[in-house]
């Protein structure tokens, strides 16, 4: 079981599943969502349109189509207001529910973007801590299950913030790249 922090483009990763920071419609959008839909091709939206959307904190799985990843797990992060509207709890659920789906499909490698920290405005210093704690908690709960979890940041700055957060929290991790 391991957490790997890396910088890169999540759409290029050949893992069992990549996680999409979607919106409630699950029909695509900007940011990482747009990049995933572009790389996967139109069949992804077709399948997403059968899912009936998702609430913040929920996660749903589809095929990856033209992506190198086999599956896409779509989750809807919280829109950040002031940190007093259950944002951390909802964000935690995004990570936990995505990991639960991955486990139920028997997946052993899963890559997350930094959910909610773009268009949804969650400060990454806080969001990265929620992400790392939620992932670490999940991996410790099912220590019998070997899973590699990648935290993929788009920018160099976000990459440094994730590493700093992991150090501050004392979360065991590896750095790639
Ligand atoms: N690989 C990895 N990370 C990426 C990539 C990529 N190719 N592209 C962007 N990021 P955002 P949100 C990072 O805005 O805040 C969409 O329109 C980016 O730098 O994609 O959850 C949806 O449809 C940032 O750190 O997602 C929703 O409406 C992180 O991904 C809304 O945005 C998340 O930024 C969701 O907003």
| Ligand 1 atom nearest 35 alpha carbon | 7
Coil vs helix vs strand at 22: strand
Mutate to test the pocket of ligand 1, among 24, 39, 87, 118 (most ligand atoms within 8 A of CB): 118
Among 56, 52, 72, CA closest to 23: 56
CATH code: domain of residue 116: 3.40.220.10
**pLDDT (tens place) for every residue of the chain, 177 residues total:** 589 999 999 999 999 999 999 999 999 999 999 999 999 999 999 999 999 999 999 999 999 999 999 999 999 999 999 999 999 999 999 999 999 999 999 999 999 999 999 999 999 999 999 999 999 999 999 877 789 999 999 999 999 999 999 999 999 999 997
Structural domain count of the chain: 1
pLDDT at position 142, please? 83
User: Does ligand 1 lie within 6 Å of residue 91's CB atom?
Assistant: no
Q: What is the per-residue pLDDT for 1?
A: 56
Per the annotation, the verdict on 33 as an active-site residue is yes
Our answer on whether the CB atom of 22 is closer than 6 Å to any ligand 1 atom is yes
Range of the domain at 48: 2-176
**CB of 20 closer than 6 A to ligand 1?**
no
Predicted local confidence at residue 167, as pLDDT: 97
């Amino acid at each position: 079981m391991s957490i790997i922090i890396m910088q890169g483009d999540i759409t290029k990763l050949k893992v069992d599943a990549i996680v999409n920071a979607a919106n409630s419609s699950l029909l695509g959008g900007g940011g990482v969502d747009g990049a995933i839909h572009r790389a996967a091709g139109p069949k992804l939206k077709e399948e997403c349109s059968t899912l009936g959307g998702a609430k913040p904190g929920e996660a749903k799985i589809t095929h990856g189509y033209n992506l190198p990843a086999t599956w896409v797990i779509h989750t809807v992060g919280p829109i950040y207001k002031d940190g007093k509207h259950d944002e951390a709890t909802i964000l935690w659920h995004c990570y936990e529910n995505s990991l639960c789906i991955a486990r139920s499909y028997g997946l052993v490698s899963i890559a997350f973007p930094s959910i909610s920290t773009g268009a949804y405005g969650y400060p990454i210093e806080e969001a990265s801590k929620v992400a790392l704690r939620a992932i670490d908690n999940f991996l410790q709960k099912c220590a019998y299950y070997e899973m590699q979890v990648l935290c993929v940041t788009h920018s160099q700055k976000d990459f440094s913030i994730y590493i700093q957060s992991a150090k501050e929290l004392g979360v065991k991790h590896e750095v790639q790249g």
